[in-house]
């Protein structure tokens, strides 16, 4: 018996996470599910939710038990063993029969055969691509679509060709590679939305060690879709200034050529009003939410790797807190970032960071 949040799940904790497990339960993804619980609680709206790739059912059992506003869930998995485990788990958690339905179908078929949901959670092995079309089609007005991608090698730039094929954008290996990958993923999902005249705006997104995750809220309005599309741009990285910016001009202000990435979403990764309402009892998740609150307020694209700045300037690296305080004092916006423990989000030029490091020296 595994306890996660308010759910008790039958299953064996795996020695090694593998898609060959009879019924997939990944304890590392408990944080992913904690954040989902936090988002749905912050939303507060009465909803019907779909879990098309449910495995043990732990995700939707938690939503039902931990979010008062979840009225009904439909959980699905194509794997027979997973379906049997789901049945057992819903029963054992004493979920009232009027609050759920269980399905043993292909995820896209399951979605297309349903009437629609306020919340659809796509949490696959690898790429979410096969399920995006049906998920978008069945997403209600004002609904939230949650998407996990675990193929971070493609998105973060280890396999640029795979990223082009799957996500229609060029990634870039740099300090900002996870943020750029997340923005490429968001644009891809938004393009799927756009063809059905659904405007999908990110309300919460993050990159974790082995996956990327994004929550997008749907507005069904043509003009809202147009507003999304004008925020898809190429990104440019200037190796001299160390900044990542939307490429509005051919060259960086320092006259050097950019290294190009994208196209990608250049709008916000978070909705501040939403994030303000998010709470979590889990230490890791509340610290993620707290960091995101701060970095969201800086409002710039890309991050600055402090190790890289220090090594280029041949200076030793002062504590991050010292750098943050000193840059703030100079009147710039600056915050730690969840994308990396050794980087900052800031509107300060890198030479100001170098000055701060030299001063500490
Ligand atoms: C990563 S696991 C899901 C984990 C689950 N969401 C959780 O939070 O514990 C992916 C699941 O998708 C199922 N699956 C894979 N392809 C599918 C498809 N085409 N249709 C339905 N289920 C599928 C697998 O059997 C597996 O249980
Ligand atoms: Zn430059």
Give residue-wise pLDDT tens across range 140-191.
Answer: 999 999 999 999 999 999 999 999 999 999 999 999 999 999 999 999 999 9
pTM of the model: 0.96
Say yes or no: CB of residue 54 within 6 Å of ligand 1. yes
Nearest CA owner, ligand 1 atom 8: 59
Shared domain check, 226 and 313? no
* Domain CATH for 336: 3.30.56.70
| Nearest-angstrom CA–CA distance, 345 and 128 | 28
Residue that is written with structure tokens 């043993």 in the block: 104
CB distance 194 to 221 below 8 Å: no
Measure 202 CA to ligand 2 centroid, in angstroms: 29
Q: What share of the chain is helix, strand, coil (3-state, %, to 5)?
A: 40, 25, 35
**Which one of 11, 77, 151 would you pick to mutate in the ligand 1 pocket, going by the greatest count of ligand atoms within 8 A of its CB?**
77
Instruction: Establish if 236 belongs to a structural domain.
Output: no
- Give the domain-ending residue among 219, 252, 282: 282
Say yes or no: CB of residue 352 within 6 Å of ligand 1. no
State how many domains the chain has: 2
Provide the mean pLDDT of the chain.
Answer: 95
| Nearest-angstrom CA–CA distance, 82 and 104 | 9
Measure 255 CA to ligand 2 centroid, in angstroms: 7
Residue 213: pLDDT over 90: yes
* 3-class secondary structure, 43: helix
Say yes or no: CB of residue 213 within 6 Å of ligand 1. no
Residue 331's domain spans which residues?
A: 292-360
Measure 53 CA to ligand 1 centroid, in angstroms: 4
| Mean predicted confidence (pLDDT) in 192-217 | 97
Instruction: Establish if 249 belongs to a structural domain.
Output: no
Measure 15 CA to ligand 1 centroid, in angstroms: 19
Say yes or no: CB of residue 22 within 6 Å of ligand 1. no
- Give the domain-ending residue among 259, 282, 305: 282
Instruction: Establish if 243 belongs to a structural domain.
Output: no
Residue that is written with structure tokens 């958690």 in the block: 93
């Amino acid at each position: 018996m595994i306890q996660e949040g308010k759910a008790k799940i039958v299953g064996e904790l795996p020695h090694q996470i593998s898609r060959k497990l009879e019924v997939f339960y990944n304890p590392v993804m408990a944080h992913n599910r904690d954040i989902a619980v936090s988002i749905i609680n912050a939303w507060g709206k009465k909803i019907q939710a779909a879990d098309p790739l449910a495995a043990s059912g732990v995700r939707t059992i938690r939503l039902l038990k931990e979010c008062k506003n979840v009225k009904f869930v439909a959980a699905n998995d194509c794997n027979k063993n997973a379906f049997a485990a789901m049945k057992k788990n819903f029963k054992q958690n004493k979920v009232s029969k009027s609050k759920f339905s269980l399905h043993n179908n292909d995820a896209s078929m399951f979605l297309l055969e349903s009437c629609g949901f306020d919340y659809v959670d796509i949490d696959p092995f690898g790429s979410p691509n096969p399920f995006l079309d049906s998920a978008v089609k069945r997403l209600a007005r004002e609904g939230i679509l949650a998407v996990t991608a675990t193929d971070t090698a493609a998105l973060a730039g280890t396999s640029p060709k795979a990223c082009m094929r799957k996500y229609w954008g060029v990634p870039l290996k740099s300090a900002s590679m996870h943020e750029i990958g997340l923005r490429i993923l968001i644009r891809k999902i938004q393009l799927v939305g756009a063809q059905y005249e659904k405007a999908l705006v990110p309300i919460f997104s993050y990159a974790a060690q082995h996956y990327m995750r994004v929550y997008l809220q749907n507005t069904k309005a043509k003009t809202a879709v147009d507003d999304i599309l004008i925020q898809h741009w190429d990104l440019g990285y200037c190796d001299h200034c160390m900044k990542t910016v939307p490429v509005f001009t051919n060259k960086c202000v320092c006259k050097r050529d950019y290294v190009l990435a994208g196209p990608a979403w250049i709008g916000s990764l978070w909705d501040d009003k939403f994030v303000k309402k998010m709470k979590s009892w889990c230490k890791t998740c509340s610290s993620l939410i707290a960091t995101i609150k701060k970095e969201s307020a800086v409002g710039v694209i890309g991050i600055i790797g402090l190790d890289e700045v220090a090594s280029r300037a041949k200076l030793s690296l002062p504590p991050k807190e010292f750098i943050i305080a000193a840059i703030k004092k100079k009147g710039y916006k600056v915050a730690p970032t969840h994308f990396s423990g050794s980087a900052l989000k800031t509107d300060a030029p890198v030479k100001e960071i170098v000055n701060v490091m030299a001063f500490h020296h």
